[in-house]
């Protein structure tokens, strides 16, 4: 929908009272129009027109002005026939009254051009805009706001025709004129900023489009109020961007708000409302919520067919979307005619080389592929690809869509060797898109985006499962794993390093604000709602979370130029780069968890209806570049075996060897032939296997620790060299035996002192009145470390505080011996270094949703504020550990967390990697205090001995 701001003022009242009444009615109409109350403005303008036309001798100037305004109002309510008639009358009056080169003629030409555009008559529209532009430049000069309006209108036509290279400079010139003439916060500036953002979004440059959309929305809300059609347009466009990045919840909320605004201001049957309904339908359809999408499409189609020309491209767009829904449901007989009708409307309306034509061809190709008509599907998809590459460039996201579809088609034609290079090109586009769009994302938004991109990666895993002997397939699947596994922690740690090592005081200040905000969020999450009602509590949590995401995004954006300087290798080079970084006697094993679908299904079964089975795939890389692939099997039995082994080891079950042999047979034995004679294994695990110590697996004769040296990685990408941190004075820092007296210890003699702590835990179902028992072994442990490293600085008792840890400057080695927690723990055995249950469960709020708020360390804190002792993983991610070679968490459950497919374990180890630690030693279960002291002393003796 195109929007132009039209100025209108009421003429002076004459002697005839009807003239004054007409002027008053017209003035009210203009006010209502400017306020976005289009439906209310129309009867006022019609009343003014009737009065002026009834005056003796008429009032040609006023009549033409009123007709021009009415034409714009009718167009906004999708009454295009009346809009065209009113504007044609106005144009004839003005040309007769003022001559064909008058500026008022240009105004009517501009409004008529908009109507022609909505009707799909783009050549006529462009000619009208061009004529109006020439009149205005001659009469008003090149820097007048009306000239900017004509430039914006002409650019809109180029935009609609996908002539983005012609549209952008016109928008930029119009924007410069209006910013200088009207100021940066004027509504018209917001309109042009919005339109420029559309160009960037259609070009796939979302990182440039988003801030422009946000600026346009802010300007429009400020200048027009929050209930205005132009505000709805900005909300819609921002929602489209979020939807294209897989952020469906954010997009849905914006669409809903836009629909409500347009229904209120334009009426429920306007074309503007139809556009929003159509877009919300896409949002639902892509999530598989077909029951919600179909009525929206049907309603949008009914509106558009009632108010638009039958050949309108907007009708075609809704037809395509409804066809996609039927295709996903396997209702092919309904989908085909809709696609064909849409294709005809696009070709006649916007030309045969427009991206909309490619869109319809792409969907027709999928339909014919699903029906087994491969030759026809191939012809349509190659045609779509050619249009997309020619108009949008070879790196556009929709080009990747066509490449993936052609690859799928080649697989169904039993031509996998031809599919692989197509998938490789698509992977390169996805990686480029990730680098271009996601440099300024918060962690949560980046994780959502990675999930959105994961479908193509999983298809490559399935391809490697189906063709493990094809070296090109193996290399491609491995490249995808090396690029995407753990990518969110990679980007978060890159931002952390830039802030701590390269950026200035302003960024440091903002980072401190983020750290403080995370501490407030952790405190509120752990305290629970208290006396606050649940809605208020959840609203406060959301506000803090949203504020933190915004700060993260801002810092990511500021660090983006520095992070871009150390970009990862491209997909076609990363396997070789990682292989060259492997030690000569080592092998990398990348294990991926993926959803496996049949690559060559029977015709007639939609892909969305194919069964999906979670499976594990192992990809192996040798230093000489050789690769291997083996399917480990369905995930369900492997996950069950992993859980049994963890439980057996944690409970010291004497039968743990049987569990260790079972998991060995499932998860290690199949890949052993690919390892060869290597004895050093670098494991990058996924899913529940990321919570298993492979050294504890048993082959029936021995534990694997007796045969292999294991190193655990997030991804083989971790082996690539990173920039060295500046040299710092050598330092070893130990935190041990924190004073829990105020933080939660409750010996019988001091029961009263812990009352505030008990109240705190009584309120939290998650912590279940847990208390922290003293850990005398940790002080002895610290003393043993200090004997081995006399320079070690030890903080114990009240000095081993959370506040001191969070302010720590990066030491060479950081050792923390205390209680650890992950808030899904079972009761802790006496003498362990975990949180223990000492009373009945409380009865309140659910545990924090963010796993980084459910895991952490317990230190000394404020006796009146128990959460001040609990350093959550979210807070520890803000440490500066760049240059820290080793972090040892000598505590319970520090390796646990929430497993997220492809992105690792969300808990303490992730937090410390983000903070910069090179190596982290953690535990996967509860550990005994005295036993751990002995083990840690031996660990450091061995470390000192090299």
The residue among 837, 852, 924 whose CA lies nearest residue 889 is 924
The one-character DSSP state at 504 is: -
- The pLDDT value recorded for residue 930 is 78
Model confidence at 824, in pLDDT bands (50, 70, 90)? low
Q: Please list, in sequence order, all residues whose beta carbon lies within 8 angstroms of the beta carbon of residue 200, skipping any fewer than 6 positions away.
A: 206, 208, 209, 212
Q: Is the pLDDT of residue 560 over 90?
A: no
Per residue in 352-389, pLDDT (tens digit) is 999 999 999 999 999 999 999 999 999 999 999 999 99
CB-based burial of residue 727 (10 Å sphere; 0-12 exposed, 13-18 middle, 19+ buried)? exposed
**Positive or negative CA dihedral for 853, 855, 858, 859?**
negative
pLDDT at 7 over 60: no
pLDDT band at 11 (very low <50, low <70, confident <90, very high): very low
Most confident of 271-275, 645-649, 650-654, 729-733: 271-275
The residue with tokens 């869109």 is 359
CA 826, distance to chain mean position in Å, is: 34
725: confidence class by pLDDT, cuts 50, 70, 90: low
Please compute the mean of the pLDDT values over residues 415-431 and round it to a whole number.
Answer: 95
Place 945 in a pLDDT band, splitting at 50, 70 and 90: confident
For residue 667, which of 592, 717, 588, 612 has the smallest C-alpha distance? Answer: 592
928: left (phi over 0), alpha (psi -120 to 50) or beta: beta
Tell me the angle at which helices 487-501 and 505-527 cross, rounded to the nearest 10 degrees.
Answer: 130
Report phi then psi at 900, rounded to 5.
Answer: -125, 125
Q: In this predicted structure, what is the pLDDT of residue 724?
A: 66
The strand pair at 627-634 and 709-713 is best described as: unpaired
Q: Are 696 and 703 in contact (CB under 8 A)?
A: yes
Helices and strands in the chain: count of H runs, count of E runs: 35, 17
With a cut of 60, say whether residue 695 has pLDDT above it. yes
Residue 756 has pLDDT above 50, yes or no: no
Cα dist from 71 to 18, 118, 146, 704, whole Å = 22, 13, 18, 80
> Cα 904 to chain center, whole Å?
17
* pLDDT surpasses 80 at 581: yes
Helix (H, G, I), strand (E, B) or coil at 790: coil
C-alpha 495/C-alpha 558 separation (Å) is 9
What pLDDT is attached to residue 823? 76
For residue 263, the cross-strand partners are none
Q: At 163, which helix (H) or strand (E)?
A: none
How does pLDDT run across 231-242, given as a tens digit for each residue?
A: 999 999 999 999
Q: What is the mean pLDDT of residues 912-925?
A: 88
Burial zone of 165 (CB within 10 Å; 0-12 exposed, 13-18 middle, 19+ buried): exposed
**Six-digit token pair at 767?**
């912590």
**pTM of the prediction?**
0.82
- Given a cut of 50, is residue 293 above it in pLDDT? yes
What does the mean pLDDT of the chain come to? Answer: 87
Residue 858 β-bridge partners: 819, 870
Calpha distance 176→888 (Å, rounded): 57
Closest alpha carbon to 378 in 407, 350, 416: 407
pLDDT in tens, 484-538: 998 988 888 888 888 888 888 899 899 999 999 999 999 888 888 878 888 898 9
Instruction: Read off the pLDDT band of 763 (50, 70, 90).
Output: very low
HSE-CB at 432 with a 13 A cutoff on CA atoms is: 15
Residue 525 parent element (H or E): helix 505-527
Tell me the C-alpha distance between 210 and 824, whole Å.
Answer: 39
Percentage with pLDDT > 70 across the chain: 91
For 261, phi then psi, to 5°, come to: -65, -45
pLDDT in tens, 114-163: 999 888 888 999 999 999 999 999 999 999 999 999 999 999 999 999 99
Q: What is the C-alpha to C-alpha distance for residues 466 and 365, in angstroms, rounded to an integer?
A: 24
Helical (H) or strand (E) element with 624:
none
- pLDDT over threshold 90, residue 745: no
DSSP per residue, 2-53: --------PPPP-SSHHHHHHHHHHHHHHHHHHTT-HHHHHHHHHHHHHHHH
- 376: number of Cβ within 10 Å: 15
| Buried-exposed string 18-39: b where 16+ CB fall within 10 A, e elsewhere | bbbebbbbbbbbbebbbebbbb
Q: Is the pLDDT of residue 758 over 70?
A: no
Q: Which residue has the higher pLDDT, 830 or 162?
A: 162
């Amino acid at each position: 929908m195109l929007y132009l701001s039209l100025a209108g003022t009421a003429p002076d009242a004459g002697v005839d009272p009807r003239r004054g009444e007409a002027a008053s009615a017209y003035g009210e109409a203009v006010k209502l129009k400017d306020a976005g109350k289009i439906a209310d403005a129309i009867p006022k303008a019609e009343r003014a027109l009737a009065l002026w036309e009834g005056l003796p001798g008429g009032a040609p100037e006023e009549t033409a002005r009123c007709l021009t305004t009415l034409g714009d109002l009718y167009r906004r309510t999708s009454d295009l026939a009346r809009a065209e008639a009113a504007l044609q009358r106005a144009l004839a009056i003005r040309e007769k009254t003022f001559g064909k080169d008058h500026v008022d003629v240009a105004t009517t030409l501009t409004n008529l051009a908009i109507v022609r555009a909505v009707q799909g008559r783009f050549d006529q529209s462009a000619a009208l805009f061009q004529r109006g532009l020439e009149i205005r430049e001659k009469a008003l000069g090149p820097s007048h706001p009306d000239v900017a309006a004509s430039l914006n209108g002409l650019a809109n036509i180029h935009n609609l025709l996908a002539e983005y290279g012609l549209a952008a400079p016109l928008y930029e010139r119009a924007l410069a004129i209006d910013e200088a003439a009207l100021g940066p916060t004027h509504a018209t500036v917001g309109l042009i900023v919005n339109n420029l953002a559309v160009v960037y979004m259609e070009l796939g440059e979302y990182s440039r489009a988003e801030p422009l959309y946000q600026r346009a929305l802010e300007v429009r809300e400020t200048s027009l109020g929050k209930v205005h059609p132009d505000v709805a347009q900005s909300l819609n466009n921002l929602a489209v961007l979020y939807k294209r990045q897989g952020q469906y919840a954010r997009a849905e909320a914006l669409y809903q708000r836009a629909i409500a605004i347009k229904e209120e201001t334009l009426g429920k049957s306007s074309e503007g409302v139809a556009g929003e309904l159509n877009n919300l339908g896409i949002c639902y359809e892509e999530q598989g919520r077909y029951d919600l999408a179909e009525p929206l499409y049907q309603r949008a189609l009914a509106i558009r067919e009632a108010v638009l020309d039958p050949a309108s491209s907007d009708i075609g767009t809704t037809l395509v979307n409804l066809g996609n829904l039927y295709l996903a449901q396997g209702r092919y007989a309904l989908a085909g005619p809709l696609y064909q009708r849409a294709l005809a409307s696009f070709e006649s309306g916007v030309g045969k080389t427009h991206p909309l034509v490619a869109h319809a061809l792409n969907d027709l190709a999928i339909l014919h592929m699903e029906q087994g008509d491969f030759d026809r599907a191939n012809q349509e998809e190659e045609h779509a690809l050619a249009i997309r590459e020619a108009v949008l460039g070879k790196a556009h996201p929709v080009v990747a869509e066509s490449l993936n579809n052609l690859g799928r088609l080649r697989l169904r034609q039993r031509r996998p060797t031809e599919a692989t290079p197509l998938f490789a090109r698509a992977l390169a586009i996805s990686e480029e898109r990730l680098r271009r769009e996601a440099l300024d994302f918060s962690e949560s938004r980046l994780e959502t985006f990675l999930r959105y991109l994961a479908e193509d990666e999983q298809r490559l895993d399935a391809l490697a499962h189906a063709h493990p002997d094809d070296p090109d397939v193996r290399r491609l699947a491995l490249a995808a794993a090396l690029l995407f596994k753990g990518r969110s922690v990679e980007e978060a740690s890159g931002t952390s390093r830039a802030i701590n090592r390269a950026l200035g005081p302003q960024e440091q200040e903002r980072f401190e604000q983020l750290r403080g905000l995370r501490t407030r969020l952790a405190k509120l999450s752990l305290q629970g709602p208290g006396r606050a009602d649940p809605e208020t509590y959840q609203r406060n949590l959301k506000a803090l979370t949203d504020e933190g995401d915004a700060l993260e995004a801002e810092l990511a954006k500021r660090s983006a130029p520095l992070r871009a300087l150390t970009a990862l290798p491209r997909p076609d080079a990363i396997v070789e780069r990682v292989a060259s970084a492997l030690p000569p006697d080592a092998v990398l094993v990348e294990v991926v968890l993926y959803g496996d679908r049949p690559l060559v299904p029977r015709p007639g079964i939609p892909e969305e209806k194919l069964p999906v089975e979670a499976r594990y795939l192992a990809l192996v890389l040798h230093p000489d570049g050789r690769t291997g692939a083996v399917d480990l099997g369905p995930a369900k039995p492997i996950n069950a075996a992993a859980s049994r082994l963890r439980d057996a080891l944690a409970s010291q079950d004497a039968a743990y060897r049987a569990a260790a042999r079972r998991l060995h047979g499932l998860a290690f034995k199949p890949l052993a032939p690919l390892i060869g004679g290597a004895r050093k294994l670098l494991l990058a695990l996924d899913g529940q296997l990321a919570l298993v110590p492979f050294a504890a697996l048993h082959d029936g004769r021995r534990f694997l620790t007796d045969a292999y040296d294991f190193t655990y990685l997030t991804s083989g990408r971790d082996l690539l060299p990173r920039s060295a941190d500046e040299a710092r004075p050598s330092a070893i820092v130990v935190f041990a035996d924190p004073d829990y007296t105020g933080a939660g210890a409750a010996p019988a003699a001091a029961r009263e002192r812990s009352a505030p702590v008990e109240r705190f835990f009584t309120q939290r179902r998650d912590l279940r009145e847990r208390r922290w028992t003293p850990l005398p072994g940790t002080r002895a442990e610290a003393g043993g470390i200090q004997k081995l490293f006399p320079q070690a600085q030890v903080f114990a008792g009240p000095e081993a505080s959370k506040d001191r840890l969070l302010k720590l400057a990066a030491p060479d080695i950081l050792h923390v011996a205390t209680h650890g927690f992950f808030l899904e723990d079972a009761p802790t055995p006496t003498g362990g270094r975990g949180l223990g249950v000492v009373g009945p469960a409380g009865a309140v709020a659910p545990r924090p949703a963010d796993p980084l708020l459910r895991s952490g360390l317990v230190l000394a804190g404020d006796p009146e504020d128990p959460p001040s002792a609990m350093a959550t993983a979210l807070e520890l991610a803000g440490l500066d550990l760049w240059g820290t070679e080793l972090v040892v968490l000598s505590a319970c459950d520090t390796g646990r967390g929430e497993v997220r497919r492809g992105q690792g374990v969300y808990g303490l180890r992730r937090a410390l990697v983000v903070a910069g630690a090179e190596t982290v030693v953690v535990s996967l279960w509860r550990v005994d205090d005295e036993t751990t002291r002995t083990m840690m002393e031996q660990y450091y003796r061995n470390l000192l001995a090299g």
